[in-house]
Amino acid sequence: MITNKSSYKRYAPYIILGVISISFLLILRAYRPHELKTSLSLRFKELFSNTPTVEIAGFDEGENWKGNYTRDSMQTFDGETGVNLFSTQNKPNTVSLYKSFDLSPYKTIFAYIYLKNELIFQRVESLTVGFQSKDKDKTSYTIHDLKKGWSLIAMDKEDFKNKDFDWKKIDSTTLELVSKKGETVQLTFDRIWAQNPNSDSKLFLSYMSQFVNHKTIGKSTFLHLASPKSTNLVLRKLIEKNDFSYTVTFAPLKLGSFGLSFLTDPQLENGYFFTLNGKQMNQWQLTKKTKKNIAILAEGELKNNTLEKQAYLWLRVEKRGEKITPSISLDGQNYLSIQEYKDSAFSKGYLGVLYEGSFLVDSIEVKE
């Protein structure tokens, strides 16, 4: 305790200095950016570790199908090529792939099939997907209807012929197309796989289920986003303040476009979008969309960053008040800030992904 004037004079400079120091620290704390904490973390390899897929056929180069077919690099979106099947004058055309796998744990087999127009299927006498076991036992599924463009066909095992078929010891897959008399038919297959029911609907607010699935490569299972057209997926994550970071880790299987939507409404009629596109996906755009207009806020080229297939890329967008900062990383540690932009049109909304092509999504992280 200071008990006299001389003592006060002696300690006054130190007291003033202490008050100034404390005041300065309080000011720094007041203006220090808010430390963001993780509010959503989706690690798909962990989430899907117990639900792998069986990749029956991808139709890419190196997959040794036997029979009369051609590879198609134009009508494909899951990989680099699909397979065209032809049939004329009611003649069966059967192609086979000799590959062993076990489908006993699965309920449903899926396939992507493309028709140029709906009239084509009216010329089809029959289209079947079949399997043969190591004991030469056979089973097959007849596809009854296809629409124009790409169709996702779900084939429940209980609807296959031969109810006693041993799904555990499959050693070959066959596709058979038969046209009607006097007709010629062509259609395209892109991917065939087996996958059990999932809980994706709990993660996403809105999405096109035919273009959202899982895919196992090696021992890892990813969220697989693949579509021949621009497609949107909206997370069940509502941002209610202008202070967040949103990061998606993905690897391209087929280049196209990939981006982040943020602060949007569920219908994506309003909000922001940060996308990579172009032939090598080295063009970027930051856009703002309203019901009346789409405005390009900023755009450019990633001159020193080339996307490689099946190589991870981290895409991030941060918003601090009016400041929007999109960035990318090749290692998940060092981020290249592309360009900062200030805009305050939207301060609340959902997060999502938009894509065209084929992509494996490894993780999604949100910090607030």
Question: In this structure, what are the phi and psi dihedrals at residue 13, rounded to the nearest 5 degrees?
Answer: -60, -40
Residue 7 lies in a domain: no
Q: Are residues 176 and 223 in the same domain?
A: no
Q: Are residues 219 and 341 in the same domain?
A: yes
Q: Are residues 135 and 240 in the same domain?
A: no
Residue 13 has what pLDDT?
53
Q: How is residue 82 written in tokens?
A: 């699909």
Residue 26 lies in a domain: no
Q: How is residue 107 written in tokens?
A: 């309920």
CATH code of the domain covering residue 187? 2.60.120.260
CATH code of the domain covering residue 311? 2.60.120.560
Residue 1 lies in a domain: no
Question: pLDDT in tens for each of the 368 residues of the chain?
Answer: 434 555 545 555 555 545 454 544 444 444 445 688 999 999 999 999 999 999 999 999 999 999 999 999 988 988 889 999 999 999 999 999 999 999 999 999 999 999 999 899 999 999 999 999 999 999 999 999 899 999 999 999 999 999 999 999 999 999 999 999 999 999 999 999 999 988 788 899 988 989 999 999 999 999 999 999 999 999 999 999 889 999 999 999 999 999 999 999 999 999 999 999 988 898 999 999 999 899 999 999 887 655 677 689 999 999 999 999 999 998 999 998 888 999 999 989 999 999 999 999 999 999 99
Residue 362 lies in a domain: yes
201-216: pLDDT as tens digits: 889 998 898 999 999 9
Domain count for the chain: 2
Q: Are residues 169 and 205 in the same domain?
A: no
Alpha carbons 275 and 351: distance in angstroms, whole number: 13
Q: Are residues 76 and 205 in the same domain?
A: no
Q: Are residues 158 and 295 in the same domain?
A: no
Q: Are residues 116 and 133 in the same domain?
A: yes
Q: Are residues 353 and 215 in the same domain?
A: yes
Residue 16 has what pLDDT?
53
Residue 5 lies in a domain: no
Q: Which of these three, 125, 160, 194, is where a domain ends? A: 194
**Do the Cβ atoms of 59 and 99 come closer than 8 Å?**
no
Domain of 361? Answer: 38-49+197-367
List Cα–Cα distances, 295 to 28, 239, 307, 346, 348, in angstroms: 37, 22, 26, 14, 19
Residue 103 has what pLDDT?
97
Residue 18 lies in a domain: no
Q: How is residue 110 written in tokens?
A: 């899926």
Residue 236 has what pLDDT?
94
Question: For residue 119, what are the β-bridge partners?
Answer: none
Q: Are residues 230 and 325 in the same domain?
A: yes
Alpha carbons 285 and 274: distance in angstroms, whole number: 6
Q: How is residue 155 written in tokens?
A: 């084939």
Comparing C-alpha atoms, which of 350, 365, 315 is closest to residue 41? 365
**Do the Cβ atoms of 99 and 172 come closer than 8 Å?**
yes
Q: Are residues 156 and 295 in the same domain?
A: no
Q: Are residues 87 and 226 in the same domain?
A: no
Alpha carbons 352 and 293: distance in angstroms, whole number: 20
Alpha carbons 89 and 78: distance in angstroms, whole number: 31
Residue 1 has what pLDDT?
42
Measured at the alpha carbon of residue 252, what is the angle toward residues 248 and 258, in degrees to the nearest 5?
Answer: 55
Q: Determine the 3-state secondary structure of 142 from DSSP.
A: strand
Residue 88 lies in a domain: yes
Q: Which of these three, 161, 194, 227, is where a domain ends? A: 194
Residue 225 has what pLDDT?
97
Integer-rounded Cα Rg, in Å, for the chain is 28
Q: Which of these three, 194, 229, 262, is where a domain ends? A: 194
Q: In one letter, which amino acid is 260?
A: L
Q: Determine the 3-state secondary structure of 269 from DSSP.
A: coil
Reported pTM: 0.87
State the CB neighbour count (10 A cutoff) for residue 63.
14
Q: Are residues 130 and 73 in the same domain?
A: yes
Residue 39 has what pLDDT?
92
The residue ranges of DSSP E strands in 265-348, in sequence order, are 271-277, 283-289, 294-301, 313-320, 323-329, 335-337, 341-342
State the CB neighbour count (10 A cutoff) for residue 297.
18
